[in-house]
Structure 1
Amino acid sequence: MNITTKKVCYTALLMAVTFIMISVVKIPIPNGYIHLGDAAVFLCGFILGPVYGTIAAVIGAGAADYFAGFGAYIIPTMLAKGVMAYLTGYFLRGNPGRQKEITVMVIAGVIMTLIYYVSEIILYGSFVSPLVNIPFNALQAIVGIVISMLLFRPLTQFRIES
């Protein structure tokens, strides 16, 4: 793996973008908030590829949870956002087309929702109480997909193939 200054700078930049999109734009819900960070996570994978995209998404999202006071969610968030960025980076190499982009991001969003559900089962000790968060996590993924689809084409020139 060839580490270049450009890759390091883009990784740091997208790490910061992920952190800001999660930390600044918040729509409150009963057990936390909905944010625009999923779009940034998808962009991490799309622009940086599976390895560097995952690093940027994991650190940016984990730091956002840490500084927001959601310490119990740091590991689930890092796992969920890491999987989302990795899948996006791995399957959307080259010029995949809109249908493949949407399919990969929908699958990543479903996996993210499942990771949070299982994590909340462990945190709350109940299979039922975490069900209330499934629609909010799904909505967050959908918003991320829509925003990403708007940004993929204009940002294609900045992609780093890994």
Structure 2
Amino acid sequence: MRRKRTILLAYGGLCAALIALLTAFVRLPAPMLKGYAHLGDLGILFCSMLLGPFCAVPAAAGSALADVLATYPLYAPFTLAIKALMGFWMGKRIVRQRFSLRNLLTLILNAVWMVGAYFLTDALLFGMEAAIGSFFGNLVQGIALVVGGMVLIPLVSSLPPEAFRRIPR
């Protein structure tokens, strides 16, 4: 039991680092969004396929750390909660299959959650005008999660089961 916990914590730390890197440093410039898009949500999806519901911890830690590193520390506490729930839900619901309606619905619900939660965050922090202004960018990020997820899930699912044997779920 103790060994499983140690392995899970080690993979969790690696996943948190991966998510932070994909969010803060792998930026896809998007001038029409007045900023950038990132691959952090796909990192959360990948880690949720490895760790299951425990992915809530690295998803929250990695994403909040990325906010601090990317000079958005005001968002860090909100991101912590938003991404923790995303990691938990994806880890609980995503199954390693080529395609499933369950996976598609899970990705869509996570995208809707993310867009809605960041809309409320922006409204709380900066007012309704700012929330409306950032809605499109968050929507694009959510669509990227769904589309990228439907590509990533079959890729990870095609790996042999031995690749996941040592990771406790």
Size of the aligned set, in residue pairs, is: 160
Equivalent in 34, 38, 42 of residue 35 of structure 1: 38
Q: Residue 49 of structure 1 corresponds to which residue in structure 2?
A: 52
CA contact (8 A) 1:61 1:78 kept: yes
- What's the % identity of the aligned pairs? 23
How far did 1:28 drift? 4.5
TM-score by length of 2: 0.82
SS at match of 1:128: helix
How far did 1:60 drift? 0.5
The root-mean-square deviation of aligned C-alpha atoms, in Å, is: 2.3
Partners of 1:96 and 1:57 lie apart in 2 by: 24
Partners of 2:7 and 2:146 lie apart in 1 by: 26
Partners of 1:35 and 1:91 lie apart in 2 by: 23
Partners of 1:10 and 1:161 lie apart in 2 by: 10
Partners of 1:85 and 1:45 lie apart in 2 by: 6
Larger Rg: 2
Q: Which runs of 5+ in 2 are unaligned?
A: none
Q: Residue 155 of structure 1 corresponds to which residue in structure 2?
A: 156
Q: Residue 13 of structure 2 corresponds to which residue in structure 1?
A: 12
Equivalent residues in 2 for 1:66-105, closer than 5 Å: 66-93=68-95, 97-105=99-107
Q: Deviations over 1:124-150 (max 9, x none)?
A: 1x2233112112111112212222322
TM-score by length of 1: 0.85
